[in-house]
Amino acid sequence: MLRIVISSPKGGCGKTNTARNLAAAAAHDGFTVSTADLDPQRTLTRWARRRPGDVPGIVHYQVDWMDAEALTANDGIEPSDVLFIDTPPSIEAHPVEMRRLITVADLILVPCRASFDDVESAVPYLKALRTSGAKPIVVINFSRPRLNVAAEKGMLLTAAELCPIELGERADYNRAGSKGYGLVDVTGHVGGDEIRTLWAFVKQRLGIERPPRQVEVKPKPQPKPKARSRKREAAHGAA
């Protein structure tokens, strides 16, 4: 099971939005997907409860920090292809548990708004992650194409890798989320294309192309019934 931790030191940066939309994209891509919500606000949990049955299913876990070890143990939860773990901004309150999550994570995504305040908060956290041996990737959230944020991106690049895919500022993320959907669930939505491209980037970094499939065990061919001779058929018909 691949574990993707979505974390940031600051609230309002789009962690939950990133988690649920990537989870929906992975599910549409044929992967078995689970999500875990460590945030006391339980936004991801409420979204998972609202998710309707006409879209690919996602298994969800509402987890308290005291039980966070279940997310890192091999037999802590039912295995899936990919597990997305949504964390709260107050990670300093649980340093041991958070360190364990970071250690086992196959990928760490750090959503961040491209504002000076958000970047100033994120940079020390990113440097701390790198010091611990992790390789976080920053995902710019609530992007505005006409806004010049070159200086803010430059600050982020001093601390971590910057994802080439940005998530735009779209009211439809909230509208879809209020019904348990991601934008990939909405046919033809440009935001869905954005998320699918981000998921393609994540797959590339994880080194996966398609979901693992069980080897199909084909049933042994049954012997065909022997054909009756015409002579016997004629005799049978005459009888």
Query: At the topology level of CATH, where does 2-214 sit?
Result: Rossmann fold (3.40.50)
Q: Exposed, middle or buried, 160 (CB in 10 Å: 0-12/13-18/19+)?
A: buried
| Count of H-run helices and E-run strands, the chain | 8, 7
Q: Which of 163, 158, 99 is nearest to 126 (CA)?
A: 158
Residue 213 pLDDT grade (very low, low, confident, very high; cuts 50, 70, 90): low
> If you average pLDDT over every residue of the chain, what do you get?
86
**152-192 residue pLDDT tens:** 999 999 999 999 999 999 999 999 999 999 999 999 999 99
pLDDT at 215: 38
Residue 234 pLDDT grade (very low, low, confident, very high; cuts 50, 70, 90): very low
**Is-contact 137 156, C-beta < 8 A?**
no
Q: Which of 167, 193, 175, 191 is nearest to 110 (CA)?
A: 167
Would you kindly state where each structural domain of the chain is located, as residue ranges?
A: 2-214
Q: Which of 165, 87, 171 is nearest to 129 (CA)?
A: 87
CA distances 237 to 86, 203, 226, 234, Å, are 73, 65, 18, 5
Residue 220 has pLDDT above 80, yes or no: no
Residue 221 has pLDDT above 50, yes or no: no
pLDDT at 162: 95
**Is-contact 15 111, C-beta < 8 A?**
yes
Q: Which amino acid is at 95?
A: P
**43-91 residue pLDDT tens:** 999 999 999 999 999 999 999 988 999 999 888 899 999 999 999 887 7
More confident residue, 23 or 220: 23
